[in-house]
Amino acid sequence: MKEAVTIDAKGIFYRELNAKLRKVVSNGTQKIELRNVYGQRYIGTDLDKPVEIEIFGTPGNDLGAFMDGPRIIVHGNAQDGCGNTMNNGEIIIHGHAGDILGLSARGGKIFVREDVGYRAGIHMKEYQDKKPMVVIGGTAQDFLGEYMAGGILILLGLKLKEGESHKANFIGTGMHGGAIYIRGDVEEFQLGKEVSAAELDENDHSVLKKLVGEFAYHFGYDAGEILKHKFTKLFPLYLRPYGRLYAY
Amino acid sequence: MKTYLPPKFIVERDDSRCIRCEVCVNQCTFDVHSYDTEDAELKSHEENCVGCHRCVVFCPTEALTIRGNPLDYRENYNWRPEVIEDIIKQSETGGVLLTGMGNDKSYRIYWDHLVLNASQVTNPSIDPLREPMELSTYLGQKPDRVEFGSHGLTTELPPQVKLEVPVMFSAMSYGAVSLNVQESLARAATEMGTLWNTGEGGLHPKLYKYGDNTIVQVASGRFGVHPEYLNVAKVVEIKIGQGAKPGIGGHLPGEKVSAEVSSTRMIPKGTDALSPAPQHDIYSIEDLAQLVYALKEATNYTKPVAVKIAAVHNSAAIASGMVRAGADIIVLDGLRGSTGAAPKIIRDNVGIPIELALASVDDRLRQEGIRNQASVVIAGGIRNSGDVAKAIALGADAIYIGTAALVALGCTLCQQCHTGKCAWGICTTDPWLTKRVNPDIGARRLSNLLRGWSLELKDILGGMGINALESLRGNRLHLRGVGLTDTELEILGVRMAGS
């Protein structure tokens, strides 16, 4: 195994930075540290090896887009489109993430310590052994899990104050697969028309235990404490939400 | 509820010719024909007939004739039979009317009002039978200037894709059409040196070997999009819109998501494949640029990225933005573009004719001095090599054909694609029906079509005294308009015939 490589990304255009990444990964390097990252896009996009990339700073949009295997750890905030159409791998963000987190992801895991923007988990889908999983420590904006066709989305709301609840509306609009777990209460009016809330069963608890466990491990929380709280499960009412729309 | 819909077609069966072989019963997928064993007679449920002519073609004794139902309503220019019947259908179902194929309404077809030039006396025409003619086309971004050294070109070119014939097969996804259709397209494209397009349903492993002639699509559903899919292709196309249904998404019904379709789309079997109307990472030209470059990064800048939009009112301005967003190829799909399923009201009323869109986009890109930065490909109702030549003269680099290719495979435009019951085995995933398209025969029929068009294109060029398609490209002086208004001529950038 090769030693860890450190790249100073200061002042480097994303194209050059990604070319460097490609080169060091093809050399067999398994651990890379990116220092001074200031908004460079598409980090990790063209990588399909199980390499670990640690980012210090603020990566730009489409972090890990189309990614197939690497593990990215961000010490800072991620922007929009993080994990876009991701196939496999892991993204761990010690901070916030922007809009459309995990758009159309088909696999891999994303952990965000703080809050996320609009439409997180939109159109995630699953297939056979591929199942995207997203855990958000903070809260989310509207349209969380919109059009979701598969995978698991967990919203923990750890930073909500006593008596405060999630503000997102239109949660799960158009959802037709997968599951959303929300720690704390959500009101009926916050939900999209295509989802309903349910109590958790044994399987749900084991899913939560595993993923919240991983989340707690990454960010130094006590999983047991988090899991003590009540969770609500949102599930799609219809596998074919728009099946009755048409005249044949 | 009793339907008030009258049959669209009448089935005439010549009993003296009928040999009771039941081919019609087996071929029809709409349950029109049935055999009554008691009376030893074939019966027709004419109300089910869609006029696809599958039975007519396969009846061994030519005993069948399908005619339009002559049933006439009282004449009314406004309340035509189609209008009445659509209302009946909706009052019986309460849904959005679905249809297949392209806009069938009487909007002006500008190709039919454009005529081509030929050489007479003052310059010689060329005989393509004895002199070399060049149809090669290179798609991709061209540099602003090129430099040559002692060993030829020194300028580094962005990725280019060579087409031997400027006609490609338009996006038709696996799921909308069958795998046999896609294989026919892929093999014909490979044989003829052009490209076929996966549509947004992913790429079946069986077709990976045709990757060098494949355009893979990335659309709002992102079905089957993964690194290998992107890397196997020659071109990656971002689909923003489609001529048949500008501005709206798509729903592939669960019934069509068979085990095989599920494996290329990478979604569970039997679930609806919902493509959202917008791509949710694209709300602006800047966002488009982001996806264009995400795909260039994902493919390490080795292949052109195309962006396809439906031709709409502001196409010219949008196209300019697309080029500036880094698209190497821009694709315009016109008012008559086809589909496997679209709301009829959208198909028939939204978008603009491709001829006008092409002319205005080509003009705009020239005016802005960025025409070289992207190739322009058009789609939507191109019927023959005459349309192709006119499109090239108007400014297109290449043409996509979808409907014409399906017609080559047997399609008769019965517009039932959305039912999944295509009797010709084209627009269906029913394993019993898909066998009706044999890829060996399908590929041959498609290659023949392209060969025929190539020969005709060479004839057209030769007649003009031109020996390379490149000399016709954007050369609107070779076109004249017939029966067009001044405004139409101005937008097309074409002079009136006789002037």
Coil/strand/helix, residue A219: helix
User: How many domains are there within chain B?
Assistant: 2
Residue B79, domain member (yes or no): yes
Question: Nearest CA to CA, how far is A235 from chain B (Å)?
Answer: 15
* Residues of chain A contacting B294 with CB distance shorter than 8 Å: 41-42, 45, 62, 65-66, 81, 84
Please check whether residues B80 and B162 belong to one and the same domain: no
Q: Which letter does DSSP use for residue A97 in this model? A: B
> Same domain, yes or no, for B162 and B82?
no
Mean pLDDT in residue range B3-22: 95
pLDDT of the residue at A248: 64
Q: What range does the domain containing B472 cover?
A: 137-496
The predicted model gives A20-35 an average pLDDT of 93
What residue of B is the nearest CA neighbor of A81?
B281
CATH topology of domain A96-236: Pectate Lyase C-like (2.160.20)
B17 touches chain A (CB under 8 A): no
Q: B95, B125, B159: which is the final residue of a domain?
A: B95
Query: Are residues B254 and A245, on separate chains, in Cβ contact within 8 Å?
Result: no
**For B472-482, what is the mean pLDDT?**
97
* Residue contact A247–B267, C-beta within 8 A: no
| Same domain assignment for residues B357 and B428 | yes
The answer to whether B298 contacts A66, with C-beta atoms less than 8 Å apart, is yes
Chain A nearest C-alpha distance from B249 (Å): 12
In a shared domain, residues B87 and B162: no
Q: How many CA atoms lie within 13 A of B392 on its CB side?
A: 24
- The answer to whether residue B113 is domain-embedded is no
How confident is the prediction for chain A on average, in pLDDT? Answer: 94
Residue B71: pLDDT over 80: no
Query: Mean pLDDT over residues B382-408, rounded?
Result: 98
CA distances from A107 to A214, B38, B261, B476, B491 (A): 16, 59, 19, 51, 49
Q: Which of residues 256-315 of B touch A (CB under 8 A)?
A: 262, 266-268, 270-272, 274, 276, 280-281, 290, 293-295, 297-300
pLDDT score at B396: 98
In this structure, are residues A125 and A151 in contact, taking their beta carbons and an 8 Å threshold?
yes
- The residue of B266, B269, B286 whose CB has the most chain A CBs within 10 angstroms, and thus the best one to mutate to test that interface, is B266
Mean pLDDT of A22-49: 92
pLDDT tens digit sequence for A46-89 = 888 889 999 999 999 999 999 999 999 999 999 999 999 999 99
Q: Are residues B32 and B152 in the same domain?
A: no
Q: Residue A1 pLDDT > 60, yes or no? A: no
CB contact under 8 A, B227 and A87: yes
What CATH number is attached to the domain comprising B56? 3.30.70.20
| Mean pLDDT score, B75-82 | 93
Query: Given A104, A122, A247, which is nearest B89 (Cβ)?
Result: A247
Output the 3-class SS for chain B: CCCCCCCCEEEEECCCCCCCCCHHHHHCCCCCEEEECCCCEEEECHHHCCCCCHHHHHCCCCCEEEEECCCCCCCCCCCCHHHHHHHHHHHHHCCEEEECCCCCCCCCCHHHHEEECCCCCCCCCCCCCCCCCECCEEECCCCCCCCEECCEECCCCCCCEEECCCEEECCCCECCECHHHHHHHHHHHHHHCCCEECCCCCCCHHHHHHHHHEEEEECCCCCCCCHHHHHHCCEEEEECCCCCCCCCCEEECHHHCCHHHHHHHCCCCCCCEEECCCCCCCCCHHHHHHHHHHHHHHCCCCCCEEEEEECCCCHHHHHHHHHHCCCCEEEEECCCCCCCCEEHHHHHHCCCCHHHHHHHHHHHHHHCCCHHHCEEEEECCCCCHHHHHHHHHHCCCEEEECHHHHHHCCCCCCCCHHHCCCCCCCCCCCHHHHCCCCHHHHHHHHHHHHHHHHHHHHHHHHHHCCCEHHHCCCCHHHEEECCCCHHHHHHHCCEECCC
- The whole-number pLDDT of residue A46 equals 80
Residues B151, B40 within the same domain: no
For residue B270, what pLDDT is reported?
A: 81
Give the tens place of pLDDT for each residue, A100-159: 999 999 999 999 999 999 999 999 999 989 999 999 999 999 999 999 999 999 999 999
Q: Are A123 and B268 a contacting pair at CB < 8 A?
A: no
pLDDT tens digit sequence for B429-460: 999 999 999 999 999 999 999 999 999 999 99
Binary contact (A123, B280; C-beta < 8 A): yes
* Among candidates A22, A68, A81 on the partner chain, residue whose Cβ is nearest the Cβ of B227: A68
For B235-281, write each residue's pLDDT tens digit. Answer: 999 999 999 999 998 888 787 888 888 889 888 888 888 888 888 88
- Phi first, then psi, for residue A194 (nearest 5°) are -100, 5
CATH number for the domain harbouring residue B473: 3.20.20.70
Structure tokens of A227? 């899991």
pLDDT of residue A77: 97
Residue B158 burial (C-beta neighbours within 10 Å; 0-12, 13-18, 19+): middle
Residues in chain A within 8 Å Cβ distance of B305? none
**Yes or no, beta carbons of B89 and A104 under 8 Å apart:** no
**In this predicted structure, what is the pLDDT of residue A205?**
96
Please indicate whether, in this complex, the C-beta atoms of A104 and B222 are within 8 angstroms of each other.
yes
What is the per-residue pLDDT across B165-210, written as a single tens digit (0 to 9) for each?
999 999 999 999 999 999 999 999 999 999 999 999 999 999 999 9
Query: Residues B65, B177: one domain?
Result: no
| 8 Å CB contact of B230 and A66 | yes
Q: Is the pLDDT of residue B73 over 90?
A: no
Nearest to B281 among A100, A150, A176 (CB): A100
